[in-house]
Chain A
């Protein structure tokens, strides 16, 4: 390691050159091969890449079997459920259950709450782990670094039930560590505070865990870049800004895309446990609604329709972010 670190600087320029040099002829080849008949192209592709196929096929088979096969269950959203005729043997009813869902008097409130809570959680839940990772990366003592990482990652393992009790105890008026500063009512009694309490505790709990991926990415920082930057007289902040951040940027973008795919996801367990009669106008969200209408009342079709709606919105945002990102940063999932 010692011997090699210094030589990194030249390697960078090599990478860039090599990349350019190689890519040009490849493009031409592809253009030429496009005119060949399909079986020839497939044969050629397999000859070149059969090993990659063996790498990716096991995963594809697992996913096909365990994710795609059960997917026919989604058809329930468009059918009356009739147990005597099997899971999806019921009558086709089109968008009946979607209409039932959209026409629910609570629908507007629920959607507003869901977006409100989820957008804040996605935004802050995305930014804070990056900041934390950059900060932790600044610690040079391995012992302290390890200590800070272990501590910040611990809350991830607190179960939701306990997490909500903690929130209750800390916010409890008069006695709670935080609650004692906020009058005689618990903050959980106010609909308008529900979203902030939700995302702050969410960040508190998962920030350390989510920064692991960035720390791993930071470990791949090309050390020679520091040298180069230091020659230019860069200070600490500039090093972070011009070396660390660009290194983890692709990871950040991927995480952002994935987060955007959860734009309507508000954790069911936590919300459900934090709900009370007073904060309900601010805390009723899609997942709790689906639970109450679908699971408690045993209406599989309605809950499937609501879930499908939720999913479609999420998926739309993922595809949108993915598209934008591909256009501007060349980083994308697909």
Chain B
């Protein structure tokens, strides 16, 4: 079977095992060296997963535990003094639900605009025959470093009427140059030149080439870019902090931050004792991770399956 795969003609037999041809399991040349490499890889990965998993697990159990026990280091493997006060506090606040809704709206709309603007631009900039691309790239890259700062932004948004509206979350962040560069370098390295020639021979314009050929081949990069943008919108609290006053327009992150800070204000002659407030604050702090992250964790495997679509590039070429 493996010999067949390796025939110079490159004609592969249609066997299930060959679906993943680099799968080491199908290689008959499994040397001792390979076994050692295998063991090493699996050991490292297991350690990595444990090293990442434990602190995450800790956050989860800490969010259900008595905070005095957490602070004194007694909580290690299982929740102690089990309670859900932190979650109760967060979810009984109606702003949280509004915040969730806002964040979803801003993230979905924002990401749609981001992808619509970034992907075509990245494609155009990846075309080597497009002479001005280096200047344009410089034009973009420059803005990664030089920014006017909060106050000129504030003045601009005010004159455009964006202050205190949802658009302030969507329009100014339409292009993230980092993502643009990532997408462009993907197109550069993964879209073979002969595809373009073939398209030209078929009489396709750049539009045709892009929409009919490039897009279907770019599921992986689209998934990555969408994920990057979506997470960027999801975690954005700077915008709400400065440019939004209306509580009902605040995204989730700002609402959570507000709850968190309100419960950890330590100074001042307040009537509730600082110690008590702080304990609430800690529990909320851990709980917030779960509350704000779960949607993203659900999203990831969904996008992840597209990563393997990139394989198709190699396929279509022949």
Contact = CB atoms under 8 A, between A and B. Distances in A.
A/B touching: CB–CB < 8 A: yes
A236 B148 contact: no
A93 interface: no
B248 interface: no
A22 B52 CA distance: 49
Nearest to A173: B73
A19 B193 CA distance: 7
Given A7-B10, A7-B318, A158-B289, A55 B121 contact: yes
A333 B181 contact: yes
Given A140-B20, A220-B189, A1 B6 contact: no
B301 A158 contact: no
A172 B153 contact: no
A106 interface: no
Contacts of A235: 29, 31, 33-34, 37
Contact of B52 (A66, A72, A204): A204
Interface in B114-153: 116-118, 120-121, 123-125, 127, 129-131, 134-149, 151-153
Interface string A24-68: 001000000000000000000100010111111011101101111
A166 interface: yes
A208 interface: yes
B314 A334 contact: no
B21 A223 contact: yes
A170 B31 contact: no
A175 B72 contact: yes
B249 interface: no
Contacts of B66: none
A6 interface: yes
Contact of B148 (A71, A159, A204, A314): A71
Contacts of A9: 8, 10
B56 A45 contact: no
A56 B136 contact: yes
Contact of A8 (B31, B307, B314): B314
Interface in B1-35: 2, 5-6, 8, 10-12, 14, 18-25, 27, 29, 31, 33-34
A15 B14 contact: no
A147 B304 CA distance: 11
Contacts of A7: 10-12, 315, 318
B97 interface: no
B185 A254 contact: yes
Given A62-B117, A235-B37, A18 B197 contact: yes
Given A45-B131, A169-B73, A59 B315 contact: no
Most chain A CB inside 10 Å of its own CB: which residue of B59, B70, B193: B59
Contacts of B136: 56, 60
A130 B193 CA distance: 27
B48 A146 contact: no
Contact of B314 (A11, A26, A315): A11
Nearest to A64: B139
Nearest to B149: A73
A235 B148 CA distance: 53
A284 B185 CA distance: 36
Interface stretch (B85-93, B167-175, B265-273): B167-175
B175 A166 contact: no
B190 interface: yes
Contacts of A222: 313-314
A307 interface: yes
B163 interface: no
A72 B11 CA distance: 62
A236 B136 CA distance: 41
B24 A208 contact: no
Contacts of B20: 140
Interface in A147-167: 147-159, 161-162, 165-166
Contacts of A104: none
B286 interface: yes
A251 interface: yes
A183 interface: no
B206 to A, nearest CB: 4
Contacts of B178: 258
A62 B174 contact: yes
B244 interface: no
B284 to A, nearest CB: 10
Given A3-B14, A157-B292, 12 more contacts: A2-B12, A6-B10, A9-B10, A11-B317, A55-B210, A56-B121, A59-B175, A59-B180, A60-B140, A70-B148, A70-B153, A230-B27
8 contacts: A1-B312, A22-B193, A59-B140, A67-B143, A132-B48, A148-B49, A169-B71, A315-B142
Instruction: Pick the 7 closest A-B CB pairs, nearest first.
Output: A175-B73, A6-B12, A70-B148, A73-B148, A219-B310, A70-B152, A73-B152
